[in-house]
Amino acid sequence: MHTKNSGATNVNSTIAIWCFTLFVSFSSGLLSTTSNAQAITQNTYQLAPFESQFEAYYDGDTNPVGYALLRFTQLPNKLWQLEYESKISKYFLTDKRTETTRYLFQPNDLAEQLALTPITYVYERTGTGSDKGLSVTFDQAKNQFFTSVPVDKKVVFPLNGYVDNQLFRIDVPYQLAMGKTQFSYQFVNSRGQARNYGMQVVNTESQALPIGVLETIKVVINRESSTRQTFAWFAPSLNYQLVRLQQFKDGAVQGDIKLRVHKAL
């Protein structure tokens, strides 16, 4: 009986780590060939509402064990909202996560990053094990951000250019459309920790996905002092949006999400 509980705990822990890292991890990239990637970046990126639905695979499974959803919508008063949701079920274990960020559209002359300034970010995790939550408020005027872990514990940090845990999900497509092959982000992750990671283009390749075969740009996401490595694929034909994310641990596939539906809103 003890052995069974120990195994279930290990599986639950692994699922939780995968769900946490699969959509948030960046670090210094590898040296790579980028000429093909530059050749494919010929479409103009458009800041527009969309929804992407993914099938989620775990630990080399051939059948999906869950889903992920990314929705970007325009609100009144120059506001935009980005929502991420995922749910994984493996054996009798479940893990559901949501992230919601509101941005203020503020055009600038630099054009190095999308003209979106984070205002609030909310993260929630439910399922097997302990529930977790975090909210972050970004105060650009005072150059500081507030975190709550949980809501009744509020901590103030210098902002210093840090963004929310989701901006990269819509900024990477913009960077690729601009022909960039290396870029980095300073952000506050879903644990309220400040991080500074980077990404680098590897090459271009065709991907057979539930939505169909797409020509994509492959990006490597490495983390220092980690046994995990993540790759992401983006499709210029779909406004450079993410179409696949695959994570390895110790050389074995740990998690994989593949685009099933992509539509304009």
pLDDT in tens, 25-58: 433 333 333 334 444 444 578 899 999 999 999 8
SS3 24: coil
Amino acid (one-letter) located at 171: D
The token pair at 192 is 């309220």
Tell me, yes or no, if the pTM score tops 0.85. Answer: no
Closest CA to 180 of 198, 160, 200, 207: 200
Helix, strand, coil tally for the chain in percent (to 5):
15, 50, 30
Percent of the chain scored above 70 by pLDDT? Answer: 78
The token pair at 5 is 């509980």
Please check whether residue 250 is in contact with residue 55, taking contact to mean a CB–CB distance below 8 angstroms.
no
Span 191-249, pLDDT tens digits = 888 877 778 999 999 999 999 999 999 998 876 656 778 899 999 999 999 999 998 88
Please check whether residue 160 is in contact with residue 186, taking contact to mean a CB–CB distance below 8 angstroms.
yes
Residue 107, preceding peptide bond in cis (omega within 30° of 0) = no
